[in-house]
Structure 1
Amino acid sequence: MSSILKIVQPSGILDGVSSNKLRREVIDIVENGANIVLVDFQDVTFINSAALGALVSMLKLVRSAGAELFLCSLTEQVNIMFNLTKMNRVFKTFASRDEFEQKVRGEVRSQDSAV
């Protein structure tokens, strides 16, 4: 069975409300058959602790469904938050979509989505 990749690209401020919307979208994606989800943070300008909690919840739900969650293109502010909170040890992150493609993707059908 081939892998199905879905890419989600949130933008702006990722706080409690927007991260819960993102979490629901990712869960819907997995429930609809995607087994690899890539969240591209290149347009995220700020992330707070509520968003980090929602991301951890999202990761647990994705893993429990037998799927994988990857993050890429963390902006400077997001990267600082991930390092300070040690989330960089919890999530599989890549510098860019290109790096993700080279190291993980392989033969995966891509379907892009914007949040």
Structure 2
Amino acid sequence: MNKSVAVLEFSGILDGIKGNELRREVSNHVDNGTNVLLLDLKNVKFIDSSGLGALVSAMQMVRKTDGQLFVCSINDQVKMLFELTKMDRIFKVFADREEFNRQVVATQN
């Protein structure tokens, strides 16, 4: 099966408003047949509880369609938050897009 890959970028603070945007974008991609999504968070400075909820919701949407959701380029503060909330066990986090491409995209051809 040929996999469809999409990269979504977010910036600033991932809060309730940006979380709703994230859910909408993920939903649109899933509805259009994308089954591998990468959330590039290199420009996200902070994630609040609403943002964490949006990430979990996005993961659930993607998993319902047997898709995969990955995260890359998180800063130290977001990394610490992921570790404290055990989100690092839910999400596969890549250092950057290049690592994602090497480990996920290249293995699908």
TM-score surpassing 0.5?
Answer: yes
TM-score range, shorter chain: over 0.9
Report the counterpart of residue 26 of structure 1 in structure 2: 26
Q: Does 1:7 align with 2:7?
A: yes
Matches of 2:24 and 2:61 in 1, distance apart?
10
Report the counterpart of residue 17 of structure 1 in structure 2: 17
SS in 1 for 2:20: helix
SS in 1 for 2:29: helix
Matches of 1:69 and 1:91 in 2, distance apart?
7
> Which structure's relative contact order is higher, taking Cα pairs within 8 Å and 6+ residues apart?
1
- Unaligned runs of at least 5 residues, structure 2: none
Report the counterpart of residue 35 of structure 2 in structure 1: 35
The alpha carbon displacement at 1:107 in A equals 6.6
Runs of 4+ in 1 over 3 A off after TM superposition: none
Report the counterpart of residue 46 of structure 1 in structure 2: 46
Matches of 1:65 and 1:26 in 2, distance apart?
12
Identical aligned pairs, as a percentage? 47
Distance 1:24 1:98, change over 3 A: same
Does the Cα contact within 8 Å between 1:11 and 1:41 map onto a contact in 2?
A: yes
Give me the TM-score of the superposition, normalised by structure 1.
Answer: 0.89
- Unaligned runs of at least 5 residues, structure 1: 109-115
Matches of 2:22 and 2:31 in 1, distance apart?
14
SS in 2 for 1:46: strand
- In the alignment of these two chains, the number of paired residues is 109
For residues 1-115 of structure 1, the aligned pairs below 5 Å read 1-106=1-106
Give me the TM-score of the superposition, normalised by structure 2.
Answer: 0.93
SS in 1 for 2:4: strand
Matches of 1:80 and 1:23 in 2, distance apart?
23
